Amino acid sequence: MKADVRIKKLREGAHAPTYGSAFAAGCDLYACVEVGEVTINPGATVLIPTGWAFEIPDGFAGLIYARSGLATKSGLAPANKVGVIDSDYRGEVCVALHNHSSEARTIKSGDRVAQMVITPYLTATFMETDDLSDTTRGAGGFGSTGK
């Protein structure tokens, strides 16, 4: 399935999102740091601009996830775990990149810092009730289904 997504360049040197392979679900987002590079100290979070605004179609959202290589090799991942870009947002997409490692890490303009998956979503209509249907699991919560 494909969707057309209009993008607007907001900063000189911004690198358009790309897919790493023919079947990649997420497109890579690139840093567009005006000072050329930024250092993220251990335990710190820095807002990394991409230089792009997106016009995501109605009924879809852009979900921002960690790049697996960056997270496992450098300890860098989005601070909010999953960012949500709503279809009515027209500002610059930035990544709040958190350094989980014990060493300072440097991000340069053009580095891939996250990936974005464009996905459809459902909007719920919440209906208050006195009773919910019974299930085998019931109210069993954290760890209730085993390890």
- Which phi-psi region, left, alpha or beta, contains residue 74 (left: φ > 0; alpha: ψ -120 to 50)? alpha
Cα–Cα distance between 26 and 114 in angstroms, integer?
9
For residue 138, the model assigns a pLDDT of: 85
Per residue in 84-124, pLDDT (tens digit) is 999 999 999 999 999 999 999 999 999 999 999 999 999 99
Q: Are 29 and 113 in contact (CB under 8 A)?
A: yes
Amino acid at 34: E
Q: Mean pLDDT over residues 121-134, rounded?
A: 96
Token look-up 């340069």 returns: 108
For residue 73, the model assigns a pLDDT of: 96
**In the predicted structure, residue 136 carries a pLDDT above the cut 90:** no
Which residues, in sequence order, are bridge partners of residue 94?
A: 49
Instruction: Spell out the alpha helix ranges (H) of 19-139.
Output: 68-74
Q: Are 90 and 101 in contact (CB under 8 A)?
A: no
Per residue in 4-58, pLDDT (tens digit) is 999 999 999 999 999 999 999 999 999 999 888 999 999 999 999 999 999 999 9
What is the CATH code for 6-120? 2.70.40.10
For residue 53, the model assigns a pLDDT of: 98
**Domain spans in the chain, listed from the N-terminal domain onward:** 6-120
Cα–Cα distance between 65 and 70 in angstroms, integer?
11
Cα–Cα distance between 74 and 15 in angstroms, integer?
22
For residue 143, the model assigns a pLDDT of: 76
